[in-house]
Structures are given as structure tokens and as C-alpha cells.
Amino acid sequence: MKRTITVLVHNRSGVLNRITGLFSRRQYNIDSITVGVTENPSISRMTFVVVVDSMENVEQVIKQLHKQIDVLKIKDITDEATVARELVLVRIMATSVQRGEIASLAETFRAQAIDIGKESMTLQVTGNTEKVEAFIELVKPYGIQEVARTGVTAINRSAKMSTDTSRLTLIN
Amino acid sequence: MIHSKETEKQPVNDKNRLCTGSEILLKALASEGVEVIFGYPGGAILPTYDEIYKLGMNHILARHEQGAIHAAEGYARITQKPGVCIVTSGPGATNVVTGIADAMMDSLPLVVITGQVGTQLIGTDAFQEADMLGITMPITKHNFQIRSVDELAQTVKEAFHIAVTGRPGPVLIDLPKDISQQVTTFRYEKKIHLPGYQPTTKPNKQQIRKVLEKLQTAKKPVLLAGAGVLHAQASEELIQFTERNQLPLVNTLLGLGSYPGNNELHLGMGGMHGTYAANMALHETDFLINIGSRFDDRLTGVLEHFAPYATIAHIDIDPAEIGKNIYVDIPVVGDAKAALTMLLQGKGPNAEHDDWRKQTQSWKREYPLWFKRDKEVIKPQELIQKLYEQTNGEAIVTTDVGQHQMWAAQFFAYNKPNRWVTSGGLGTMGFGFPAAIGAQIAEPELPVLAITGDAGFQMTLQEMSILQELQLPVKIIIVNNASLGMVRQWQQLFHGERYSHSLFPIQPDFSKLADAYSIKAIKVEKLSELDGAIEETLSHAGPVLLEVCVAKEENVYPMICPGQGHHCMEGVKPS
Ligand SMILES: Cc1ncc(C[n+]2csc(CCOP(=O)(O)OP(=O)(O)O)c2C)c(N)n1
């Protein structure tokens, strides 16, 4: 199963290394990681998507992360009300004749053309993972030259939090 | 940078006086109450060594960095204070990696300072550069690289705090050479600001109540006590709790000494080479309370066969240990001392478990540890027994890794805490002898017996230099079976007696080696000489190397063979 975990860490050099090292040493598979500073420049926020076998496994991941001195807060937000987004850039083959057709396809996904060349164009889409994947599938027939995905970043919704008093949110 | 005469003349308490990084480091160590540094100099750490010289700090020069760090571990194990080890960059630093990993596995507090090339050179593959931050990230509790002289003092403070609080462990500080030479004012703060590090020491009352409730109805309760009890200095509380509730107790390898080994309720060590009584109790119990042990696989064996009928309570300072290997019914996060104190305030069991106690006692009586005596050849078990008898158990025992380690765990009763020093988690050969040096420095008055194998001793024997230099009265006892004994045993049992590279065709003359270091040497080959040799060893005021040639093909029993449950031990009785 896939779980989405957010972690607040000190914005110090080497912290990402500590975290990913921990994952690989304990054989947890990371699907994606996104990192960026928060409103406080000394703190960064990471969003992981991890693949685990069981809830006990997720709990162990969280506990191990919590042991890191640079980790301030961890949350498994998978079962909470969240907004999760991913950004993808796709460069596809596109002759000048096809451009119009592609543009209208893109529109339904609110994708934008951000670069157009003689025989290709690059589109940008944001959305949850399913949407992003659906879009990639859709443009595949044109011939994909390159895809770059950021991985998921996520945040709790501003509406009320999930009622589930998840035991995985904090261990201390 | 060279100290100017002017700055040296200024009074020490002048707050505005400029100090070099090295000076700050050593002042900080002094503020932490560090009594002794184990180390080895080299280029990148030279400014610090210069300061050690000037300040006349108590420094012990090992002959290999591995010796220095294992000595620091031995010191930490006995004193519960962080062992301090200072080495140079590159090869000096990589030579302490084994010791750091060892300390991490056995939760020993260390503060390791490694020199580093100058900040301008970091990342350029400079002479004697090694990425110690990267190398030790997975084997330290935390590590730091100093980037500015102004953060040095605070970092040392934090390193000591992290090393000893919560679950103890090694902390590394990588100190670039130029920073150790830069100057700033020295201020040593009392406060620590580590928002991401807040270990829970006080257990949750509710959870403690659950333990007590279950204890009231349990019919076959067992306590499993690990090294966490020793780290928390909770032996007194453990004894009270166990006696009051008449609970049979099993120790882990590293927990030996947390409960008197000669007490009736003590069933011995559990696990692969544990006693029959301990392992049967682990198998049959309906309520297992684990205090301060991490359910290591050498203890549990195959998880599906472990404590199959038990409700399990696990008390541990490290939340990540709870549920890591074994499903736990009652998790309790906290320090062993705090937990036992709270448990002592509650009510004891209602249910009678007299029958259970009788049962465990009868296992103990009927299936004691055994070996077959020989009239001439010295059996290693007999050697250990005699060492116990002749010291009245009043000694610190350190061991290396292998068969002799298991025999030293089985046949010597550890009746007091902090008398037993062994490498449990990493199983590091070469550990025992240097660890004995650290232990002897920590406890100058107690006899320290370094029980080692003929193979393991050869990994760090150069540290005999320290014995010679300081006239430390450590007694080295080489259990010589002319082989890598434990490897030979496994090859015999599980690899069709193919002794691939485990038998020594030739051996060094250990007595001559001792002689080279001006250490008294005794060698015995016959049982009839053994008592006298031990007596002579123990009564000699200085260091002694006692080489005991033992039965070569002796195996460690009883044994849970791979894949078996605790109730299927082999070699429980003489065949
Ligand atoms: C550094 C290291 N290398 C290899 C091993 C694997 N190993 C475990 S026990 C053992 C044999 C030890 O022989 P010896 O020191 O003579 O002790 P004995 O088992 O004979 O008592 C070996 C090689 C180890 N534990 N540590």
C-alpha cells in the first residue's frame, strides 16, 4: 500500500541524506519525495509517498524517522482530508497540424503548453496522481519524448481535519 | 595558527579572551566532566593534540584507533558516562567505524571527535579526507560537522546531551582543521535547544496500570531484562519488583548483571545459547514483560515460534523498538527506572503462580548448564567456572566474540551491575581486550579479566602497549582452541564438517608476544596446572597474559538451532 507522510525538518545540509539513508537501510521503498522550505526558512517540509506492506510497517517508518534529531514533526496524512498535487512536464511529438488538436485535449485537463517547437511541444499539468497519469496516457499516442514529474506534495485541507484519530500522526 | 603570547597571559575567566577551536573543544570536554580521552593523533587533529599537550589532559594513546574506541566503549559501559575518543581524519576516522557501529548496536554513549581536512578542501578528495558524516550517518545516534568555530561549543554540549539521554548512543563531531585553529570567545551555555529531540522518560500511567492488571491474572509471568535496565541504573528497582512478585527472570546477553545471577529467581540467559530453564520459560509464559531489551534475533530465534502463548508488554525508552520485531500488546515508552518505580507503586499479582515458580525451578535444577569433565584436557567451561570461583565473582569480565564469549556468559554469574562487558549487537571480534583497558581505567580497584579467543585477541593485541605503559593490571585470558571456535562449530554442525579457513595451522607464541610488551605470561596445557595458574594470574599486581590451551573440539551447548523454537533446544543434557 502507498502512504503519504509529511515531515517537518530542520533546513540543514545533509538532512535529506539522513532521511533517504534511513529509508534505504531499513528497506522501505520510496515512491516519491518532495522537499521545500516552509514559511519559516529554517524549516523544510518533506512529503513522502512510501510503499509498505502493512500499517505496522508505516508505524515503524514513522518511529524511525522520529528518532532523527533533525526531524521536528511527522504525520501520516493518507487518511486525512488533504490536497495533494503533482506537477508534470511532458514533451510530445507534435506537428504543426496536430497542435490545435493537442491544445484542445490539454484544455480539458487544464494543462498548459509552455513550449512549442517545430516538431514537438511541452505541456505542463498539475493535479493529483490519477489525473496526471490519465493525462500522460492520453497524450501517449502522439509520442512522448520526455516526462518529468515532481512527485506528490501534500497539505491538510483547511476544512475540518479528519475525524479519524489516527494513531500514526505522532509518537512521543 | 600559533597562540600569541599575549592571549596566553590573559586570565582564564576573561570572557572576552579569544580561544582557538581546539581550546574550545577541550574546555567544553572539561566542562562535561571528561576524565580521560582515548585517541590517536594525525595531521588534521594536530591543533587539538597541541592543546591536549598544553592543558595536560589525561589522554591515552592506543596503538590502533580501533583499540582507542573499544577502550572508550568499555569505559562507557562501566561508568555510564560517554567514552570520548579523538582521532584524525581519513584513515584515523575510518578505523573507528567498527567501534561506532558496535556502540550504536549496544546503545553505548560515546562522543567521537574526528579531525577533518580544512573546510576549503572538503569535497576535493584531499589528502586524508573521508566523508565521515556520510559514512557514519547510519551508525551514529547523530553526527555533526562543524562549519564555524562559533558553533563548536554548543555542538559539543548537544553531542554529550544526545549521547547520554534517551537511548544512549554514539555521537560524532567532525572537526575541520582550519576551524580548530580559528578563534572566538568561549562561552559554554547551560541550555540546550533541540526541539526535534525530546525523549520520553516517564511512562504513561494508563499503560503501567495495564501491565499491573495483566500481572494480576497471569499464571505464568516472566520478566525479560535487557541492558536498558543497566543503562537506566534500575537494578535495585528490578530486584525489588521481581522479589515482591516472585517473578522468574530471564536476562538477555547484554542484560547480564542487571539481576543477581546467583539468585533463585534468575533463570539465566535466554536465546540461542541460553539456559533450558530460561528458554522454556520464554516458550511457556502467558505474560512476558520485557524491560529494556530490543528482542534481538539471537534472543527470539524465529519470530513465529517466540513466546507463542504470551501477552507481551514491552517497556523501552526507544519507541521505535516497540513493535519493531515482535507484536506487543502493552507498549510502554519510558526509562526502565521510571517504569519499575511506577510498577512498584501498584498492586502485585492476585493469581497464585506458585506452580509456575516450582516449574521454572525444576527446569533449572534438572537441566543445568553442563559439560563433560576431562582428567587432563582443560575444558573451557571449567576455566570460566574456576575464574568465577577464584574471584568470588568480584571482577569485571570483558569478552571478545565467539565460543568463549558464550561460555563466559553461561558459566560466570554476574551478581552486580556493570561487571560484564561484551559486544552483543555487532559481535565485534577485537572488542574484548581493548574494552578491558577502558573498564580497568574506569574501575582501577576491581580485577578486570579480558577473556578472549586466540583469534579475536590477534585483532587488537597491539594494545598490550597500553598495559605496559600504564601498568594496568588487566588479566588477559586467552581461551586457546587453535581455531575460530564458533566458526568451526557452525561448520561442524551445519556445513558438513568442512572446516574452511577456521583452523589455525600455526599460532604465534603468545608468551613471547607478552614478553615483547614486558607483560608477565603464563601458559597452561594441563588441568592439574590450571588452579595454580589462575591463582598466580590473579595475585600478580600487574598485567598478566594467561594462555589456556583448551579442548579443541568443544562446542557451545545447549543450542537452539536455526529455525527452531525455544522449546526445541539441542544439547540440553550430556549424551
Ligand atoms: C571482526 C569479526 N570478524 C569475523 C567474525 C566472525 N566470527 C565470529 S566468532 C569467530 C571465531 C572467533 O574465534 P576466537 O576468537 O578464537 O574465539 P572462539 O570462538 O574460539 O572462542 C569469527 C571469525 C566476527 N564476529 N567479527
Residue A125 β-bridge partners: A88
Of A35, A70, A40, A8, the C-alpha closest to B144 is: A70
Task: Write down the pLDDT at residue B13.
Answer: 55
pLDDT at B6 over 70: no
Which one of B320, B322, B323 has the shortest CB-CB distance to A67? Answer: B320
Q: Under DSSP, is residue B343 helix (H, G, I), strand (E, B) or coil? A: helix
Model pLDDT for residues B422-464, shown as the tens digit of each residue: 999 999 999 999 999 999 999 999 999 999 999 999 999 999 9
Which one of B196, B200, B323 has the shortest CB-CB distance to A10? Answer: B196
Of B84, B81, B87, the C-alpha closest to B63 is: B87
Contacts A172 to B, Cβ<8 Å: 198, 200, 319, 333
My answer on whether omega of the bond before B558 falls inside 30° of 0, hence cis, is yes
Asked whether the beta carbons of B550 and B488 are under 8 A apart, the reply is: no
CB contact under 8 Å between A68 and B196, yes or no, is yes
Of B403, B402, B448, B449, the C-alpha closest to B428 is: B402
Q: Is B510 a catalytic residue?
A: no
Q: Is B382 a catalytic residue?
A: no
B411 alpha carbon – ligand 1 mean position (Å): 19
CA end-to-end span of chain A, whole Å?
25
Alpha-carbon distance B190 to B154, whole Å? Answer: 9
Model pLDDT for residues B33-75, shown as the tens digit of each residue: 999 999 999 999 999 999 999 999 999 999 999 999 999 999 9
CB contact under 8 Å between A63 and B320, yes or no, is yes
Distance from CA of A84 to the nearest CA of B (A): 26
Q: Under DSSP, is residue A141 helix (H, G, I), strand (E, B) or coil? A: helix
Task: Write down the pLDDT at residue A138.
Answer: 93
B487 alpha carbon – ligand 1 mean position (Å): 7
Q: Whose CA is nearest to atom 8 of ligand 1?
A: B402
| Burial of residue B376, with CB atoms counted within 10 A of its CB: 0-12 exposed, 13-18 middle, 19 or more buried | exposed
pLDDT at B1 over 50: no
Of B266, B263, B274, the C-alpha closest to B249 is: B266
Q: Under DSSP, is residue B153 helix (H, G, I), strand (E, B) or coil? A: helix
pLDDT at B159 over 90: yes
Q: Is B65 a catalytic residue?
A: yes
Task: Write down the pLDDT at residue B351.
Answer: 66
Please identify which of the residues B10, B127, B324, B573 carries the catalytic annotation. Answer: B127
Alpha-carbon distance B102 to B427, whole Å? Answer: 8
Q: What share of chain A is helix, strand, coil (3-state, %, to 5)?
A: 30, 40, 35
B455 alpha carbon – ligand 1 mean position (Å): 6
Rounded to 10 deg, the angle between the B432-442 and B65-79 helix axes is 50
Model pLDDT for residues B269-287, shown as the tens digit of each residue: 999 999 999 999 999 999 9
Q: Which amino acid is at B436?
A: A
Q: What share of chain B is helix, strand, coil (3-state, %, to 5)?
A: 40, 15, 40
ipTM score here? 0.89
Residues 6+ apart with CB under 8 A from B429: B400, B401, B402, B453, B455, B456, B459
CB contact under 8 Å between B319 and A18, yes or no, is no
Q: How far is CA B16 from the centre of its chain?
A: 42
Q: Which amino acid is at B483?
A: S
Q: Which amino acid is at B169?
A: G
Looking at every residue in chain B, the average pLDDT score rounds to 95
Of B568, B552, B448, the C-alpha closest to B507 is: B552
CB contact under 8 Å between B320 and A60, yes or no, is yes
Distance from CA of A34 to the nearest CA of B (A): 20
Model pLDDT for residues A145-162, shown as the tens digit of each residue: 999 999 999 998 986 554
In three state form, how does the secondary structure of B57-73 look?
CCEEECCCHHHHHHHHH
Residues 6+ apart with CB under 8 A from B408: B384, B397, B399, B422, B451
B269 alpha carbon – ligand 1 mean position (Å): 21
Q: For a substitution probing ligand 1, which of B273, B298, B383, B401 has the most ligand atoms within 8 Å of its CB? A: B401
Model pLDDT for residues A128-141, shown as the tens digit of each residue: 999 999 999 999 99
Q: How far is CA B272 from the centre of its chain?
A: 19
Q: How large is the average pLDDT for residues A110-114?
A: 93
Task: Write down the pLDDT at residue A5.
Answer: 95
Q: Decide whether any atom of ligand 1 lies within 6 Å of the B461 Cβ.
A: no
Please identify which of the residues B177, B214, B220, B337 carries the catalytic annotation. Answer: B177
Alpha-carbon distance B59 to A90, whole Å? Answer: 62
Q: What is the DSSP letter of B550?
A: B
Q: Under DSSP, is residue B451 helix (H, G, I), strand (E, B) or coil? A: strand
Looking at every residue in chain A, the average pLDDT score rounds to 90
Of B431, B372, B360, the C-alpha closest to B399 is: B431
Alpha-carbon distance A168 to B304, whole Å? Answer: 25
- Chain B residue with the nearest C-alpha to that of A171: B319
Interface of B with A (CB under 8 A): 133-134, 137-138, 141-142, 145, 162, 194-198, 200, 318-320, 322-324, 327, 333
Band the pLDDT of A166: cuts 50, 70, 90: very low
Q: Which of A114-123, B173-182, B344-353, B555-564 has the lowest mean pLDDT?
A: B344-353
Q: Whose CA is nearest to atom 2 of ligand 1?
A: B429
Task: Write down the pLDDT at residue A169.
Answer: 38
Q: Whose CA is nearest to atom 3 of ligand 1?
A: B429
In this structure, what C-alpha cell is assigned to residue B506?
A: 600455526
pLDDT at B14 over 90: no
Element (H, E) at A144: strand A144-149
CA end-to-end span of chain B, whole Å?
72
Model pLDDT for residues A43-53, shown as the tens digit of each residue: 999 999 999 99
Q: How far is CA B197 from the centre of its chain?
A: 24
CB contact under 8 Å between A69 and B197, yes or no, is yes
Q: Under DSSP, is residue B182 helix (H, G, I), strand (E, B) or coil? A: coil
Q: Decide whether any atom of ligand 1 lies within 6 Å of the B453 Cβ.
A: yes
Q: Under DSSP, is residue B218 helix (H, G, I), strand (E, B) or coil? A: coil
Contacts B142 to A, Cβ<8 Å: 69
**Residue reference for cell 488538436:** A101
Atom of ligand 1 nearest to the CA of B380: 21
In this structure, what C-alpha cell is assigned to residue B138?
A: 547510519
Residue B199, number of CB atoms within 10 A of its CB = 16
pTM: 0.94
CB contact under 8 Å between B196 and A69, yes or no, is yes
Model pLDDT for residues B217-247, shown as the tens digit of each residue: 999 999 999 999 999 999 999 999 999 999 9
**Residue reference for cell 607478552:** B514
